[in-house]
Amino acid sequence: MTLPENGLCEYRVTVGRDWLDYNEHMNGAYYLKAFDDAGEGLALIIGMGADYTRRTNNSWVALESHITFQNEALLGDELRIESRVLDFDDKKMHIYQEMSRGDELLATHEQLGLHFDTAARRGSVFTPAVRASLEQLHGAQARLARPAAVGRSIGIKRNKPAA
């Protein structure tokens, strides 16, 4: 596959009835599924699809994941997910994704992924070809601002008592 010039890998999906919960909006599990499917598209672009796993016994696995929800996704919504690689080292990649309906941001997803040797069942160094793709993709994103949602943590903000 061809690496996108701007470094943003785009994936599109439509919300189906089976993705809805009893509130008639997309269930949280399907946000992760959509982000995961978009991540597979990113993996293909950098040369790590299912064929890569069959040929090399290498794949990728998630070490940590964080989703934020801004707006509801509803039945029939056409979703666009943009994925990018914020950083990487010899074995890991830091991925950030945004899910939108038109120009409206619905959710963000941040993930730390590990290049994984499926035979040894442990982390492994990226192959030279995948590393080169990561470098090219990351370089193409150099002009993009770091998303504000990156690095968020979960917690309840408390007002300080008046003195």
Q: Within a 13 Å sphere around the CA of 54, how many CA atoms are in the beta-carbon half? A: 3
Residues 6 or more apart whose CB falls under 8 angstroms from that of 123 comprise 91, 92, 114, 115, 116, 117
How do residues 90-136 score in pLDDT, each as one tens digit?
Answer: 999 999 999 999 999 999 999 999 999 999 999 999 999 999 999 99
How do residues 143-162 score in pLDDT, each as one tens digit?
Answer: 899 999 999 888 898 888 77
Residue 3 structure tokens: 């690496």
- pTM of the predicted protein model: 0.91
User: Pairing between strand 78-88 and 92-101?
Assistant: antiparallel
What does the angle CA 138 – CA 141 – CA 143 come to, to the nearest 5 degrees?
135
